[in-house]
Amino acid sequence: MGGFLKSSVARKFAMALSGLFLVLFLAQHFTINLTSVISPDVFNEISHFMGTNFLVQALLQPILIFGVCFHFIMGFVLEIRNRRSRSINYVRFNGSANSSWMSRNMIYSGLVILAFLGLHFYDFWFPEIVHKYIQSHPEDATRYYGELVAKFESPVRTGLYVLSFIFLMLHLIHGFSSSFQSVGFNNKYSKGLRGFTVAFAIVIPLGFIFIALFHYINNVQ
Amino acid sequence: MRINKSLNLQIENMKLTLKIWRQENAKAKGKMVDYIIDGIDGDMSFLEMLDVLNEDLVNKGEQPVEFDHDCREGICGACSLQINGEPHGPDKLITTCQLHMRTFKDGDTIVIEPFRATAFPVIKDLIVDRTSFDRIQQAYGYVSVNTSGNTIDANSIPIKKENADDSFNAATCIGCGACVAACKNASAMLFTSAKVSQFALLPQGEVEADRRVLAMVEQMDKEGFGNCTNTGACEIECPKGISLENIARMNREYLKASVK
């Protein structure tokens, strides 16, 4: 594995696969979150299942954490190597003439997403670990919706979530379709696939923004 | 005075400010130097404009600006300038020698730099060492067939039309290095993938496709080129319009060869 990842093509392949895996996770996360807008009971039920199911906790969650860490670490490794490949910068570099802002600034949109993940873990994941494993509270299948809604009382936190989802959108607009190119998929179906990936990249973050604003506005009212 | 009617711009006797990278040798520290040049005609090529500048410099007893050029008709891949932040200048599907001064207007400032990449070190002024491309080619950019006295008529081997076309298109790469210069990561994947593709698509080259792609990618990495992040800048700036499909094909070929 380590030897395979020494090659630039293989690194991009691994980066693309981890990205595609995270896109799948994002779709699943969004679907669950959307239920919080539709039915608090359904949201509680699914959240309780995800938080207590052995397969999810013991297998899928570690895989997800590995995928997230791998994607970020590989992103930094690629960025450092890429910066080394041009030791003297141009006085004038007209990148906008031939490429999109999103494609040229994946590292910055990625850094914003990394910072957001820190906030998201602070808000939900760490309290969950403390609740379950340190304070060892008895199982309560009805607590999840209330915990979620309470987080969106703060306009600052809601604003940070909205901002982060905008950067997630920018990251996905390039990253999702780019991952197919990296795994070698570029053919007559690529144009249609590009349309789907861009639609996904816009709709899913907009959906997350809607959910955050929905709970914030409900709290205000 | 001649005027480009569609743009209403003066294209004869233009006066321009040139900001040019000057560097004595590979080890010296370079810097941008300003030159004012006038009497430039819109029908001149960019390289002819630099010839005029150099004549002026030589007449004044100064060192002329060194730059690469050869065929001056867009087929050799020798010219290599980064002009106003783009390889081969603002026009598409042309090399610097095909760029005409009517692209600019009277009073413009033009920034001229060498192609920048760690794997393309500056030799002098605007000339860079692109032998890293040669070494990628030497790694396996060929077909090991003895054609001496054993040549088989190419038409006797049926080849799908689309494969023949794709191979030919890949083979039009002139190895100028604009893909590397345009890429924010200084990646050489478009060049390498074009060379991989032109052989992998044909039965003569398919036999060694696995060994070829592994060797050429390994050499590309050794030279210190960056990783492709699929910005697509290389495809846009390539004077021959080499497609990103070639990079996807190289990725496929590489992964296929790696798991065998």
Judged by a CB distance cut-off of 8 A, whether residue B69 touches chain A is: no
Q: For Cα atoms B180, B183, B184, give the angle at the middle one, nearest 5 degrees.
A: 130
Is A198 part of any domain?
Answer: yes
Structure tokens, B75: 């087929």
Contact A142, A44 (CB under 8 A): yes
For chain A, the domain total comes to: 1
Is A73 part of any domain?
Answer: yes
Judged by a CB distance cut-off of 8 A, whether residue B35 touches chain A is: no
Quote the CA–CA distance of A168 and B230 in Å, as a whole number: 18
Conformational region of residue B236, where left means phi above 0, alpha means psi within -120 to 50, and beta covers everything else: alpha
Provide, as residue numbers in chain A, all residues whose Cβ is less than 8 Å from the Cβ of B232.
98-99, 103
Is A92 part of any domain?
Answer: no
Quote the CA–CA distance of B189 and B248 in Å, as a whole number: 10
- Average pLDDT across chain B, whole number: 95
* H-run or E-run covering B82: strand B81-83
Quote the CA–CA distance of B82 and B250 in Å, as a whole number: 27
Provide, as residue numbers in chain B, all residues whose Cβ is less than 8 Å from the Cβ of A91.
19, 21, 32, 111, 113
Distances (CA, A) of B56 to A127, B19, B23, B168: 74, 16, 19, 43
Tell whether the model's pLDDT for residue A161 goes beyond 70: yes
Q: Cβ separation of A85 and B224 shorter than 8 Å?
A: yes
φ/ψ of B57, rounded to 5, equals -65, -45
Is A150 part of any domain?
Answer: yes
Output the domain CATH number for residue A147: 1.20.1300.10
Tell whether the model's pLDDT for residue B8 goes beyond 70: no
Average pLDDT over residues A72-88: 97
* pLDDT at res. B1: 61
Provide, as residue numbers in chain B, all residues whose Cβ is less than 8 Å from the Cβ of A174.
230
Judged by a CB distance cut-off of 8 A, whether residue B73 touches chain A is: no
Q: Cβ separation of B84 and A94 shorter than 8 Å?
A: yes
Average pLDDT over residues B168-176: 98
Distances (CA, A) of A39 to A32, A35, A124, B206, B259: 11, 6, 20, 58, 48
What is the DSSP annotation of B191-241? HHHHHHHHHHTSHHHHTTHHHHHHHHHHHHHHTT-B------HHHHH-TT-
The neighbour count for residue A220, using CB atoms within 10 Å, is: 10
Gap from A113 CA to chain B (nearest CA, Å): 18
Give the tens place of pLDDT for each residue, B204-253: 899 999 999 999 999 999 999 999 999 999 999 999 999 999 999 999 99
Is A23 part of any domain?
Answer: yes
* pLDDT at res. A5: 84
Q: Which of B111, B224, B258 sits opposite A92 (nearest CB)?
A: B111
Quote the CA–CA distance of A111 and A167 in Å, as a whole number: 9
Structure tokens, A79: 């960025």
Chain A, nearest residue to B182 by Cα:
A95
Average pLDDT over residues B45-71: 98
Q: What is the DSSP letter of B45?
A: B
* pLDDT at res. B7: 64
B-interface mutation test, from A4, A7, A20, A86, most B Cβ less than 10 A away: A86
Quote the CA–CA distance of B186 and B188 in Å, as a whole number: 7
* pLDDT at res. B5: 63
Average pLDDT over residues B163-185: 98
Q: What is the largest CA-CA distance in chain B?
A: 67
Average pLDDT over residues A131-141: 89
Quote the CA–CA distance of B45 and B73 in Å, as a whole number: 10
Conformational region of residue B255, where left means phi above 0, alpha means psi within -120 to 50, and beta covers everything else: alpha
Judged by a CB distance cut-off of 8 A, whether residue B28 touches chain A is: no
* pLDDT at res. B146: 77
Give the tens place of pLDDT for each residue, A187-201: 999 999 999 999 999
* pLDDT at res. A139: 87
Give the residue numbers spanning the domain of A122: 8-86+99-220
Q: Cβ separation of B254 and A88 shorter than 8 Å?
A: no
B-interface mutation test, from A87, A99, A104, most B Cβ less than 10 A away: A99
- Average pLDDT across chain A, whole number: 96
Q: Cβ separation of B248 and A186 shorter than 8 Å?
A: yes
**ipTM, 2 decimals?**
0.93
Quote the CA–CA distance of A176 and A112 in Å, as a whole number: 17
Tell whether the model's pLDDT for residue B82 goes beyond 70: yes
Which residues sit opposite B111 in a β-bridge?
Answer: B19
State the pLDDT confidence band at B2, using cuts at 50, 70 and 90. Answer: low
Average pLDDT over residues B18-45: 97
Q: Which of A7, A97, A100 sits opposite B217 (nearest CB)?
A: A7
**Angle at which helices A8-38 and B245-259 cross, to 10°:** 100
Structure tokens, A157: 């936190």
Is A1 part of any domain?
Answer: no
Of all residues in chain B, what percent carry a pLDDT higher than 90? 89
- How far does CA A53 lie from the centroid of its chain? 22
Beta-carbon contacts below 8 Å between A and B: 136
Average pLDDT over residues A86-104: 97
Q: Where are the beta strands (DSSP E) in B115-206?
A: 122-124, 127-128
Is A91 part of any domain?
Answer: no
Give the tens place of pLDDT for each residue, B90-119: 999 999 999 999 999 999 999 999 999 999
φ/ψ of A80, rounded to 5, equals -65, -45
The residue to which tokens 């592994």 are assigned: B214
Chain A, nearest residue to B113 by Cα:
A90
Fold of B3-124: Ubiquitin-like (UB roll) (3.10.20)
**Angle at which helices A40-52 and A8-38 cross, to 10°:** 140
Average pLDDT over residues A62-89: 97
Tell whether the model's pLDDT for residue B6 goes beyond 70: no
Q: What's the CATH class of domain B130-259?
A: mainly alpha
Provide, as residue numbers in chain B, all residues whose Cβ is less than 8 Å from the Cβ of A94.
84-86
Judged by a CB distance cut-off of 8 A, whether residue B255 touches chain A is: yes
Tell whether the model's pLDDT for residue A2 goes beyond 80: no
Domain ranges of chain B: 3-124, 130-259
Q: Residue B40: is it exposed, middle or buried by C-beta count within 10 angstroms (0-12/13-18/19+)?
A: buried
The residue to which tokens 């002819």 are assigned: B48
Judged by a CB distance cut-off of 8 A, whether residue B85 touches chain A is: yes
Give chain A's contact residues with B (Cβ, < 8 Å). 4, 6-13, 78, 81-82, 84-95, 97-100, 103-104, 106, 174, 178, 181-187
Contact A11, B227 (CB under 8 A): yes
